[in-house]
Amino acid sequence: VRTHIDFDDSFPDERRPFEKRRRGKTRFDDAGPRRRGRLTEEAKTALTRELDDATTDLPDGDRWSTWVAAEHGPAPRPDWVVTAAAATDTELGVLKSGKEADVHLIRRAVPGTDGCVVAAKRYRGADHRMFHRDSGYLEGRRMRRSREMRAMANRTAYGRNLIAEQWSAAEFAALSRLWDVGVPVPYPVQRDGTELLMEFIGDEVAAPRLAQVRVSPAEWRELWWQLRSVLFLLAGEGLTHGDLSAYNILVHNGQLVLIDLPQLVDLVANPNGVGFLARDVRNVAGFFAARGVDVDTEELIEELADEAR
């Protein structure tokens, strides 16, 4: 049985009975049974799960729902999200396998119910661009220990995993923030380590990327105006996607949904913010122009930059 146990780090140092005890008698000496630290509630649940896994027959590839121990998405939570501890996660297949992440389709359900279908984006521990202090990506975040910084710089397996976890956390934070302000993005269900679960955009099949759709000239114009208003919404928050293209936009029931957001750019904090904004706009404006839409690229960039100020 593989066991992974988290100890509660929030237990203040000066009150850690075990560590004190090593230095001699303390006021905690009579405080009950001796134990090594305290298991968090999450760790207890995870441990129980691991033991259950060893004794319960879950079909191959299935796992217990990872909801309890994960970081959760913004409230109010859509009612389709399954939070039951008795739910299991079943792999339905791979949506896309990429260099930096794989996207899987998962059904989370209490056995015998329909549950929900979610997209699981799993960042890989290899080949990553690195989060760097002055890239703007790590803004506000700080590595707690330099050992972690060194591991990432030296690309040890541990370090690569940390980098993957940073990207996953960054995308989860970006999706949560954008969901809150009404930008059309998949609802971020949870994040657990390098894996992020989000609303699956699609019905029987995944929604196509904008680059794959074929629509009438009037519909291209409609989609362009939708995208413009999304860009204004982002700029109003002082943000731009950072890697916007017709491949990172899905079209579902005539509505655009932005995806692939770990590098969301803060136009104010990032010294090259306007450069990223201009690149994003040029990418998509060029795409729509090639489909016969009358676009005003440079004017739009200026208007958006103004909006962000």
Ligand X SMILES: Nc1ncnc2c1ncn2[C@@H]1O[C@H](COP(=O)(O)OP(=O)(O)OP(=O)(O)O)[C@@H](O)[C@H]1O
200 binds, among Mg ion, ligand X, none (CB under 5 to 8 A by kind): ligand X
21 Cβ contact list (under 8 Å, min separation 6): 28, 29, 34
Q: Is residue 201 near ligand X by the rule CB under 6 A?
A: yes
Minimal CA–CA distance to 226: which of 288, 301, 277? 288
Alpha-carbon torsion angle 251, 253, 255, 261, nearest 10: -40
List the single partner that 201 binds among ligand X, Mg ion, none, CB under 5 to 8 Å by kind. ligand X
- Reading the block at residue 12, the tokens are 């203040």
Q: CB 284 → ligand X: shortest distance, Å?
A: 14
Residues found near Mg ion in the complex (CB under 5 A):
248, 260
- Selected range binding ligand X among 38-46, 53-61, 96-104, 134-142, rule: CB under 6 A: 96-104
Instruction: Please give the Cα distance from 26 to 277 (Å, whole number).
Output: 59
Q: Least separation, in Å, of the C-beta of 291 and Mg ion?
A: 20
Determine the distance from the C-alpha atom of residue 73 to the mean position of all C-alpha atoms in its chain, rounded to a whole number: 9
Q: How far is the CB of 58 from ligand X (least distance, A)?
A: 25
Nearest of 209, 297, 199 to residue 256 by alpha carbon? 209
Does 92 help bind ligand X (rule: CB under 6 A)?
Answer: no
For ligand X, the closer of residues 234 and 295 by Cβ is 234
Considering only residues 58, 149, 192, 202, which one is a binding residue for ligand X as defined by CB under 6 A?
A: 202
If one asks whether residue 188 binds ligand X (CB under 6 A), the answer comes out as no
Which among 123, 198, 197 has a CA at the least distance from the CA of 167? Answer: 123
Contact with ligand X (CB under 6 A): which of 91, 100, 303, 307?
A: 100
105-121: burial string, b at 16+ Cβ within 10 Å, e else: bbbbbeeeeebbbbbbb
CA distance 178 to 261: 10
Binding mask 236-275 for ligand X (x = CB under 6 A): -----------xx----------xx---------------
Stretch that binds ligand X, among 74-82, 156-164, 174-182, 193-201 (CB under 6 A): 193-201
Q: Which does 266 bind (CB under 5 to 8 A by kind): Mg ion, ligand X, none?
A: none
Measured CA to CA, the distance from residue 234 to residue 237 in angstroms comes to 5
Binding site for ligand X (CB under 6 A): 95-96, 98, 100-101, 103, 119, 121, 186, 198-202, 206-207, 209, 247-248, 259-260
